[in-house]
Amino acid sequence: MGSYVDASNVNHGFVRSTQGTITTIDAPGAGTGAYEGTYAFGINGAGDIAGPSIDGSSAFHGYVWKP
């Protein structure tokens, strides 16, 4: 679980399964421009991931992603 920045400087969260599959996490409404997007900050025992996202107006929002 973590975050990465793509070639366009957009942030994306990700999670890696125990089998090695990597899934990108993009919160609904997250911006797709430079310095916008989704961050993955925490994970619980059920695999739920939480973090902030930044929309196209530079506003921060929280999200919870469930596997």
On whether the CB atoms of residues 24 and 38 are closer than 8 A, the answer is: no
Residue 58, pLDDT score: 96
Domain residues for 60? 2-65
Query: Per the structure, how many domains does the chain have?
Result: 1
Mean pLDDT of each 10-residue bin along the chain, 67 residues long = 97 96 97 98 96 98 96
Residue 36, pLDDT score: 98
In angstroms, the CA 38 to CA 64 distance is 11
Residue 12, pLDDT score: 98
Residue 63, pLDDT score: 98
On whether the CB atoms of residues 63 and 27 are closer than 8 A, the answer is: yes
